[in-house]
Structure 1
Amino acid sequence: MKTTIHHRAFQNSYVGLISFLLSFVQTIISVPILLTHWGNQPYAVWLALFAGFSLIQTLDTGHINFVGNQINVLYHQDKEYLKKTLGSAFYIALTMGIIELIFVLFLVVFNQIQNFLGISVGALDILQIKIGLILLIFTWALFGSFGGILHRLLLPAGMLFQAQWWGILYRFLQFLAIILTVILGGNILAVCITYSFVQILIFSLTFLYIRKKLPEFYPWWRIREWKEGLQNFKKSLVLTTNGIAQQLGNNGLILFISNFLQTSLVPVFTTIRTLTNTALSITNVFISSLLPDIIRFHATGEEEKIIIAQNANWFITGVVVNSALLLILPFVENLYLFWTKGILHFNLALFLLLAASISFANFGAGLYQYLVGINHLISQTIITVVRVLIILICSFIFLDYGLVSLGIGILAAEIISSVWLLIFFVNNQLKNFNTCLDKKFIFISLLPPGIILFVTIYFITINKIQWEAVVISLFLLTALYLFNWSILDEQIKVRLADLKRNIFKMPNNRDSEK
């Protein structure tokens, strides 16, 4: 018996919500511990080191995602061809890992690690940084790249639930390894060693689990063809480009700060960005649970349901994110100083700019996931590349303003990429159904980000938070969302009411989908 969309959204969000809460708790706990035991400078160096490691990893994540998508299709169509795809991918992944390791060794031999990470030789013993990065990349080359591909085998085999819990266990053990090492007095090299050990352990256990559950595909490297592997790698380059652009907009900004500003400012940027990104993470949990239904509507040509679902998404995520961003404003500085033990300086202007950018990013989150779901790679790549280019260009133009320059760049990038570009590309797809996004809902959904942008500019101008302005903004927001609720589709209202009841009590009897 089929379940209703709101039931699936609620049920499928469980693991996503647990994963989000785990990541959130890890961040809340790890920041004060690392700052207290290491201090700002070593913590900043660790962030730069890990950002560099993550950026290098991106070179083969496109290949991982492409082959993973192939596995999802071939598992139900041609398992023999799947075995060849898997075996070919094994050797390509190993080759990519070796190339990444050679790149790091090149940086080490020619003393370019400092320039790559943007750290000073006098900041810490550079030798432990070099050994640590080599160790991280070596472990990734042997286990991580192909492990990421093999993990995707669980999804079409009907083991999505198990795959999600393996991912949660992986992140939890990584967190535990880092925190315990730091508490016990370990330095950055010690953290790299324990982190790598956890990588080896969890991937080894995953390999054994997959071998036991899906023995027909083992040994995974048995059937191989270099031509097949190279063709898939070539096809994956669009995804790789997209992944690199995304990483440049995340970990790349950490290296930007350490190279063009000061390494010591990295923790300030990452912690403040973590605070603002938390709101968007909650949104993604909800969107990901509804995405399968939205994609089904696209595949079956039910264009009206696509638009209704998007309108509902704008309303729900808008209420959660925009209200939270305004409510936290009067308390955020004290919370931040308490969280970071007063070791880091709170940058009000940066926080306000990032908060405004999150409001606009939230508007476009559902639209972007729609493009991801229908596998429209060109639009994804254009949006991601434009976003990172705007961030970097604005950051260079306003570099004299320090971290605020990145805030300006991120805000400008989200307004253009998450609003204008996404509306353009999604409407372009909806033209196939002779329809488009509801202009009335677009306008109403953009008013709350507009209010937050106005408040941001005002507070930056006076350099403080005013209670009166926050209260007035909340009243305006409430009025807007009450009006928004009044024009929502009646079926959506019923489902949202049911979802609200399900949060407190999960019914035993599942209604069939009408």
Structure 2
Amino acid sequence: MKNILKTDYFKSLKWGFSSIIINFFKQIILVPIFISCVGKDFYSFWLIISAIVFMIRAINLGQLNYSSNVINLNYHIKSDIKEELAVSQGANLMMLCLQFFVGLVISSQFILGHITNYESTFLTNVNAQLCVVFLVVSTILYQYSTLYLLRLFEPLGKINLTIKYQTIGEFFDFVVTALSIYFTRSILLTCFAVFIFNILYSVSIFYFIKKRVPFEIPLFRNLDLKKSFEQIRKSFLLCISFLIEKIYEIGINLVVVRVFSSALLPVFTTSRVLSNSSLKVSNTMTIPIMPSIQKQFALEEKHLILQKISLFWRISGTLLMSCMTVAIPFIPYLYKLWTVNQIEFNMKLLFFLLIAILFQNYAMILTEFLKKTNLSRQILVYNLIKVPTTVFFILISGIYNKGIHFVGIGLLAGELTGLTYLLIIMSILFNGFKPWKEIIKNLLPILLFTFTFTIYLFASNYLIFLISNILILLMNNFMFLKKNLLK
């Protein structure tokens, strides 16, 4: 358990939280820059083509993760991973070609017009096809560099370097985008600038890593495309699972519009931004743990994996519940300032979203464990349980004319059903190590917090809410403090 508290973990957290800050300022700063430089209509065009490219990016998420996992797992049990590197590189190149082909097809004016509902004259005037092509190529190169090449540091125990250079890449991508649109006032030239930057970044990352890893990274030589195709076939379930996740992230907004109205969408999206900010923190805490869990999985040290999972639950749960407890009374006022009092604040909606985040945080390390150990079937079943459950509850709420807060209930229902499946899988995988003891011990504080939050929702007594949650957090951490800090 002590390995998780090593210096490298905290270095990873430092860069992870830096990434959160960069993305936060990116969301805040780019909006006014784009609107002031090119106008609202062209900014809408930028958002639409960015969303299209985002979905093309999702095509290869599963395969890139599968390839990296194969290398990480085999590095700890084999002395030579030349075959894994060659097969993975071949699979990467095949999927990059597929993404580029899909990008070319979608960028055609006929298809792009049907997807975006823009007139052909507008698409011609903004050079839409070139914009999409530039963004597709730059995105898939950046994706290959950050999700495959930089992850080659992970089996060496240097995930802090992976996160560090991913964060540096995010920062300069943000700077290049902001400066390009400010000085050129052109979507096309901005796409071209991002394209040039990502080519330079990807080439630099390749040669940087090549000099710092103890194995040769094949580029085009010594590839076995037959075995690479077989690896793509094996990663198919993981690819589908990642696609479902990304469609879920984007598609819920469309479901809300169809079931309720477009007027209520800002209420949902702004509340979800608040709740998802908490989730980004727990995601930052999860990622640095994964390489050591992969190593222990390869070495069949399941008791150590269970210890890490339990420790993550305690630390991340404490952090999230503490932040929520402190922030709750200030959120309505800050929300009005943020939205310039133009969007109605819905406390019930936020309540269900925040509780859903607590359970999603609990499930997060389990889903990452399944992804990073290539347990593709299990993670696919999880998504096939969670997503339809969420959509079903939202549709029912629309049919019976329930309020927008029922969307939050739908998200919470999806998280609970998905988590139930994950806990069953965990009990099977860790059979013999008493997983249910750890499950109940770490789930109980979340259930108690949900109870106190529910009372606050109806009684609005913050003092009782505060005292109750302090007691819950003390109970949650008493044994940990006694065991680790009072020695």
- Report the TM-score range of the alignment, normalised by the length of the smaller protein: 0.7 to 0.9
What's 1:508 paired with?
none
Q: Is residue 408 from structure 1 mapped to residue 409 from structure 2 by the alignment? A: yes
CA distance in 1, matches of 2:226, 2:52: 31
- Aligned twin of 2:471: 479
Provide the aligned C-alpha RMSD in A.
Answer: 3.8
Counterpart residue identity of residue 337, structure 2: F
**Partner in structure 2 of residue 231 of structure 1:** 230
Match of 1:473, as an amino acid?
Answer: F
Tell me the CA shift for residue 267 of structure 1. 6.2
Which residue of the partner structure matches residue 320 of structure 1? 319
Aligned mate of 1:20, from 13, 17, 21: 17
Secondary structure of the corresponding residue to residue 319 of structure 1:
helix
* Equivalent residues of 1:68, 1:149 under 8 A apart: yes
1:95 maps to 2:97: yes
- Structure with the larger RCO, 1 or 2 (CA within 8 Å, 6+ apart): 1
Q: 1:93 to 1:217 in 2, by over 3 A?
A: farther
| Corresponding residue SS for 1:56 | helix
Alignment of 1:157-306 (within 5 A): 160-184=159-183, 186=185, 188-213=187-212, 217=216, 220-254=219-253, 256=255, 269-291=268-290
Tell me the residue number matched to 1:60.
60
After superposing the two structures, state which structure 1 stretch, 49-58 or 104-113, moved more. Answer: 104-113
Name the residue aligned to 2:27: 30
> Compared with structure 1, are the counterparts of its residues 455 and 186 closer, same or farther at alpha carbon in structure 2 (3 Å cutoff)?
farther
Cα separation, 2, equivalents of 1:82 and 1:131: 36
CA 1:191–1:493 in 2, change beyond 3 Å: closer, same or farther?
farther
Query: Of residues 78, 82, 104 in structure 1, which corresponds to 2:106?
Result: 104
The answer for the alignment partner of 1:333 in structure 2 is 332
Alignment partner, residue 150 of structure 2 = 151
Q: 1:262–1:370: structure 2 CA closer, same or farther, 3 Å change rule?
A: same
SS of aligned partner of 2:437: coil
SS of 1:338's equivalent in the other structure is: helix
Is the contact made by 2:235 and 2:376 (CA closer than 8 Å) also made in structure 1? no
Residue 170 of structure 1, CA deviation: 0.9
Matched, 1:70 2:70: yes
The amino acid of 2:484's aligned partner reads R
Aligned-residue offset at 1:474: 2.1
The equivalent of 1:450 in structure 2 is 450
Q: Percent identity?
A: 21
Cα separation, 1, equivalents of 2:327 and 2:241? 33
Distance in 1, matches of 2:291 and 2:137, equals 37
Note closer, same or farther for the CA distance 1:86–1:29 as it changes in structure 2 (3 Å cut): closer
Alpha carbons of structure 1 residues 227 and 219: separation in structure 2 relative to 1, 3 Å: closer
Task: Render the CA deviation track for 1:61-97: whole Å, top value 9, x for unaligned.
Answer: 2111122223335565334424531552254133322
Aligned pair in 2 of structure 1 residues 223, 259: CA closer, same or farther (>3 Å)?
A: farther
Which residue pairs with 1:352 in the alignment? 351
Q: Whole-Å Cα distance in 1 between the matches of residues 396 and 184 of structure 2?
A: 41
Counterpart of 2:484 in structure 1 is 495
Structure 2: stretches of 5+ with no match in the other structure = none
How far residue 229 of structure 1 moved from its aligned partner, in angstroms, is 1.6
User: For the residues of structure 2 that align with 1:29 and 1:344, how far apart are their CA atoms?
Assistant: 22
User: Quick one: distance in 1 between partners of 2:82 and 2:66?
Assistant: 18
CA distance in structure 2 between the partners assigned to 1:161 and 1:437 by the alignment:
32
1:269-306, Cα deviation, whole Å (9 max, x unpaired) = 54432321222222233344455566666667766665
**Displacement of 1:247 after TM fit?**
0.7
> In 2, are the aligned partners of 1:337 and 1:344 still within 8 Å (CA)?
yes
1:185, distance to aligned residue in structure 2 (A): 7.3
CA contact (8 A) 2:9 2:160 kept: no
Kept in 2, the 8 Å contact 1:55–1:252? The answer is no
Q: For the Cα contact (< 8 Å) 1:363–1:445, is it kept in 2?
A: no
Structure 1 distance, partners of 2:180, 2:293, is 44
Does the Cα contact within 8 Å between 1:101 and 1:141 map onto a contact in 2?
no
Q: Distance in 1 between matches of 2:335 and 2:229?
A: 48
CA-CA distance at 1:43 after TM superposition: 5.4
Counterpart Cα distance in 1 of 2:342 and 2:327: 21
CA positional deviation for 1:34: 0.8
Partner of 2:5: 7
User: Do the aligned partners of 1:359 and 1:452 also contact (CA within 8 Å) in 2?
Assistant: no
Distance 1:237 1:428 in 2: 24
1:327-476 aligned at under 5 Å gives the runs 327-340=326-339, 346-372=345-371, 374-399=373-398, 404=405, 406-418=407-419, 420-433=420-433, 436-438=436-438, 440-442=440-442, 444-451=444-451, 454-455=454-455, 458=457, 468-476=460-468
Output the CA distance in 2 between the equivalents of 1:4 and 1:138: 42
Relative to structure 1, is the Cα distance of residues 369 and 226 closer, same or farther in structure 2, using a 3 angstrom cutoff?
Answer: closer
Structure 1 stretch 234-243 or stretch 314-323: which is displaced more? 314-323
Q: Distance in 1 between matches of 2:89 and 2:361?
A: 40
Q: Deviations over 1:210-250 (max 9, x none)?
A: 34446973661112232112101101101101111211221
2:219 aligned counterpart, secondary structure = coil
Partners of 2:43 and 2:397 lie apart in 1 by: 26
Report the secondary structure of 1:329's partner residue.
helix
- In 1, are the aligned partners of 2:72 and 2:291 still within 8 Å (CA)? no
Deviations 1:446-468 (A, max 9, x none): 32342266258x46xxxxxx7x4
Report deviation, 1:340.
4.8
Q: Deviation of residue 331 (structure 1)?
A: 1.5
- The amino acid of 1:423's aligned partner reads L
- 1:166–1:297: structure 2 CA closer, same or farther, 3 Å change rule? closer
Q: Name the aligned partner's letter for residue 354 of structure 2.
A: A
Q: Structure 1 residue 172: deviation in Å?
A: 0.5
Q: How many residues align?
A: 477
> CA separation in 2, counterparts of 1:425 and 1:255?
32
Q: Is the 8 A contact 1:363 1:446 kept in 2?
A: no
Q: Deviations over 1:368-427 (max 9, x none)?
A: 344445543322221122222222233333346686454332121112213x22221111
